[in-house]
Amino acid sequence: MKFEKILQRLKITPVYLILTLVFWASAHTQASTYRVKSVIEYLDAEDKASPGDTILWETGTFQDMNWVISKDGLVIKAEQPGTSIFRGSSKVEIKASKITFSGFQFIDGKAKDDVCKISGSQNIIEQLNFSNYHSNYYLNVTATAHHNTVRYCNFEKKPEDKQTSVVQIQVDEKQPGYNLVSHCSFKNHTAPPNAGGDYGIEALRIGYSYQSRFISRTIVEYCYFYRCNGDGEIISSKARENVFRYNTFSDNGESHFTLRHGKDNVLYGNFFLRGAGLRIKEGQNQMVYNNYFNTGNQWAIKLENYKADPLKSIVIAHNTFAESGSILLGGKGDFQPTEVLLASNLFYKPTASLIDDSTGLESFSSNAVQDSQSQIPKGFYVSNVKILMNPEGFYQPEDRMSKSKVNSKLQILDIPTLNDDPQITRDIAGNKRPEKEKSAGSFDPGKKSIQMKPYATAENTGPEYLQRKDNLAKQVIENIREETIEKANQLIKEKPVTVTASSCIRSAGKKNDFYSEGDYWWPDPANPTGPYIQKDGQTNPDNFVAHRLAMIRLSEIAATHTSAWILSGDQKYANQVLIHLNAWFVDPATRMNPNMLYAQAIWGRFTGRGIGLIDAYHLVEVIRSVKMLEEKGGLSTDQLKPVKAWFGDFLTWMTTHSYGIDEMNARNNHGTCWVVTAAAMADLTQNKEVRELCIDRFKTVFLPSQMSEDGSFPLELKRTKPYGYSLFNMDAMCNLAEILSTPDDNLWEFQTPDGKSLKKGMEYIYPYITDKSKWPFAKDIYIWDEWPARQSSLLFAGLAYEKEEYIHTFLSLPATFTHPEVIRNVPVRHPIIWLTKIN
């Protein structure tokens, strides 16, 4: 009673008191967060933590961190995704269950065994990046582990010293694992030269040979496999009842997906592009349907004749084979595949015979063929339905293939609980198929069909923090897409104009020699016919610059047309580039001699100077265009061979002639531009010696001697155009880093012992780009209002450092340059040829 009176005096009702106590209790049971930066701190935090709590690893780089996660139900993640980086001998084992492990990078380390080992269950492993880590497996999911999800991780560049797969998923004899691998990227795995096809670095292996009779029920979906050449097998499936769907296999050469020991596996919705396709070596009831093959000269599917576990009941149905090699049917040998069915597939422009090495026992039914030069076997028919390349760059029929009936023998395996599509109710794009009459191939066109394209790409797989750069690049590309195509169409009829189209009586060279005159040199009023005198920063409009303008024009045409070809795939743009390249670098009547002996001449003083090599800076985007067209298939290697030979000759001249050596040793922006030009040519011609020279000069000369500790360029600030020259030199250094940087030697991250770096240079200049009124030095004496333009430093540094503000500023600045001085001083101005990845 006393307690009730106290409550009445305090005007607190019993209901209010109960609610208050409930709130107080819930507040004290909310999840806690612990911050750690060492294994000792982690173990202490785990000891204190309860299920549902979070342990944050602080931002930083950690050496030799070996730890075990033992308590269930924790969230363990980086403070910010991708900012907790583990090196040295760092490794982790997850023995606990219901763990979320997220946001870490394991790079450039050396672990004695596995980098990440999972022996617990129901864990979520996400947003991890593994690269260049000497180890057994990058990720090992043990046989006792089940219902684990591995998603949005990147597995890259496993070193060649350990002949083990990159990711291993083991299988238990008593229970299926039900593990899931989703939206992960597997990239750039190699084997030593001449290692053969069985080196052992498969990107993903499910099971071992002794586990082949165990049921795994692993799903691998929406993953991207690119240049996985560490073994002949990209994926090696050695267990039962797995589903592989919606994955992309791209540019993997002779390496291929392999179904090994273990029966009852299903593949659908996958894209096999520019490399070997699928090998079925062993097992029964292997189902392959709704896939897209574009394997070039490599075989598309290969059935083995193998005694260990002979093939039986193989179904290959409703796949599209576009510009692909043969299906090899395993006829040679004593253990021929049996009960093989090929039904309702579409073959378009095959690069070899439709089928080869037949057993004579296969069943073929309703397979449509178009544009084939080989014999059409029974069970195949020639279709007249038009095949088009869709906007995504993939072949699909314009109308339905009416002759393709549902085959009574077509029985697709239905794996329990895995939500597959045994009735093939949908096509590869997700369009609904009719029940009774399904169109041949993987795509079933309808009135409102979704366009066919790969589900998994480089841009939507792997950790989000590694995708930011791709997304920023995509923003830029989409911003300039329409104007690029429009500009290319305006230039399409332009004829080549080379150095032979104009001449100057003051030139000491011949018809095919490049000639220009120093910009800041003028007639002497006291001696009008005598040697010219210098007026720094003041351009003489009467000097001869026709050859320079012609070279700038070449750069504009080549880069614009190459960009348009990349965006549209229209060959007319690539062909137009070749016309101009041949005129400038191949045709004896019009080509330019591969030197600049007569560039930046000064009347009465010099017939040419080393300083004139800066005019060749405008060849950098021509070179990039050549490299892009060759590696992306716009022009053939044979077509570009004489062009590349010209650049090789020019590179030899500029690295051996006294003019070139003088310019290389220039202390200001001239030395920077020499290295950018030489680096581009060395990259194109694969001149490793010059490439290393350029990297060395960046690290040991440019940053140490040109940059001040605050990130400015003192030698440029002393000029009469300090703002313009500061922008120009910053652009040049960033252009150099973009050309030469590799994952192993990233110039964007390089820093001198006293802290000078490209990042510091950008931090210095960026505020003056966004607000020029804050510039603390004198205004440039020649053009001021025209600056800044779309500086390449903003673009490249914005991507390298994932600075959205740099990209947004870049896009906000004028895209079209009209003033000759701006055009001359922004030679890198076509983003698409730089942002499109070269394989």
Burial of 233 per CB tally in 10 Å (0-12, 13-18, 19+):
buried
Q: How confident is the model at residue 467 (pLDDT cuts 50, 70, 90)?
A: confident
Instruction: Provide the token pair at 238.
Output: 């050695």
pTM equals 0.68
d(CA 96, CA 388): 52
Average pLDDT over residues 325-343: 92
Strand locations in 344-384, DSSP E?
346-348, 355-356, 363-365, 367-370, 380-382
Q: Tens digit of pLDDT for each residue in 269-283?
A: 999 999 999 999 999
Half-sphere exposure of 749 (CA within 13 A, CB side): 7
Residue 5 scores a pLDDT above 80: no
Query: Which of 245, 240, 243 is closest to 211 using CA atoms?
Result: 240
Does residue 698 contact residue 736 with C-beta atoms inside 8 Å? yes
Q: Is the pLDDT of residue 23 over 70?
A: no
Q: Coil, strand or helix: which one is 309? A: coil
Instruction: Check whether 157 has a pLDDT greater than 80.
Output: yes
- Whether 461 has a pLDDT exceeding 70, the answer reads yes
Query: In this model, does residue 17 exceed pLDDT 80?
Result: no
Q: How far apart (Å, rounded) are the C-alpha atoms in residues 247 and 228?
A: 14
CA-CA distance, 275 to 278, in Å (whole number)?
A: 10
Torsion of CA 698, 701, 707, 708, to 10 degrees: 140
User: Domain limits of the chain?
Assistant: 464-835
**Measured between alpha carbons, how far is 354 from 363 in angstroms, rounded to an integer?**
14
Q: Rounded to whole angstroms, how far apart are CA atoms 189 and 161?
A: 12
Nearest of 364, 555, 388, 559 to residue 480 by alpha carbon: 559
Query: Per the structure block, which two tokens stand in for 597?
Result: 């002996």
pLDDT score of 839 more than 70? no
Contacts of residue 449, defined as CB under 8 A and 6 or more positions apart, other chains included, come to 429, 431, 443
pLDDT band of 9, cuts 50, 70, 90: very low
The torsion angles phi and psi of 715, rounded to 5 degrees, stand at -65, -30
Q: What is the pLDDT of residues 720-760, one digit of tens each?
A: 999 999 999 999 999 999 999 987 788 999 999 999 999 99
The angle at the Cα of 128, spanning 164 to 257, to the nearest 5 degrees, equals 45
pLDDT of residue 196: 64
Query: 10 Å Cβ neighbour count for 455?
Result: 21
pLDDT for 199: 84
Of the pLDDT bands very low, low, confident and very high (cuts 50, 70, 90), residue 402 is low
Average pLDDT over residues 187-204: 84
Integer CA distances (angstroms), 49 to 33, 34, 96, 104, 231, in order: 8, 8, 13, 20, 43
pLDDT top residue among 241 and 192: 241
| CA–CA separation, 41 and 786 (whole Å) | 56
- pLDDT value, residue 404: 52
Tell me: the pLDDT tens digits for 482-519?
999 999 999 999 999 999 999 999 999 999 999 999 88
The CA-CA-CA angle for residues 546, 547, 551, to 5°, reads 115
Estimate the crossing angle of helix 722-740 against helix 758-770, to 10 degrees.
140
In this structure, of 325-334, 363-372, 449-458, 622-631, the range with the lowest mean pLDDT score is 449-458
Mean pLDDT of the chain: 91
Euclidean distance between CA atoms 427 and 451, whole angstroms: 11
pLDDT of 539 over the 90 cut: no
Q: What percentage of the chain reaches a pLDDT higher than 90? A: 77
Write the secondary structure of 227-292 as one string of H (helix), E (strand) and C (coil). EEECCCEEEEECCECCEEECCEEEEEECCEEEECCCCCEEEECCEEEEECCEEECCCEEEEEECCE
Q: State the pLDDT at residue 418.
A: 77
Q: How many CA atoms lie within 13 A of 419 on its CB side?
A: 5
What is the structure's pLDDT at 468? 78
Closest listed residue to residue 163, CA positions, set 127, 135, 204: 135
For residues 827-836, average pLDDT? 95
The pLDDT of residue 161 is: 85
Q: Which two tokens stand for residue 85?
A: 């980086």
pLDDT tens, residue by residue, 106-143: 999 999 999 999 999 999 999 999 999 999 999 999 99
Whether 317 and 342 have beta carbons less than 8 Å apart is answered as: yes
179 to 104, 120, 373, 417, 421: CA distances (angstroms): 21, 12, 45, 12, 19
The mean pLDDT of 668-680, rounded to a whole number, is 97
Q: What percent of the chain shows pLDDT beyond 70?
A: 94
**pLDDT recorded at residue 448:** 67
Instruction: Pick the range with the lowest mean pLDDT from 36-45, 96-105, 470-479, 495-504.
Output: 470-479
The pLDDT value recorded for residue 6 is: 43
Quote the pLDDT of residue 410.
Answer: 67
Whether the Cβ atoms of residue 135 and residue 156 lie closer than 8 Å to each other: no
Cis peptide before 541 (omega within 30 of 0): no
Classify domain 464-835 by CATH architecture. Alpha/alpha barrel (1.50)
Summarised one tens digit per residue, pLDDT across range 432-448 is: 888 777 889 999 887 66
Instruction: Give the model confidence (pLDDT) of 343-374 as tens digits.
Output: 999 999 999 999 999 999 999 999 999 998 88
Contact 353, 369 (CB under 8 A): no
Confidence of residue 392 (pLDDT cuts 50, 70, 90): confident
pLDDT of residue 409: 59
* pLDDT score at 27: 42
| C-alpha to C-alpha distances, 526 to 8, 523, 531, 532, nearest whole angstrom | 108, 9, 10, 10
Under 8 Å between Cβ of 293 and 272: yes
pLDDT at residue 390 is higher than 90: no
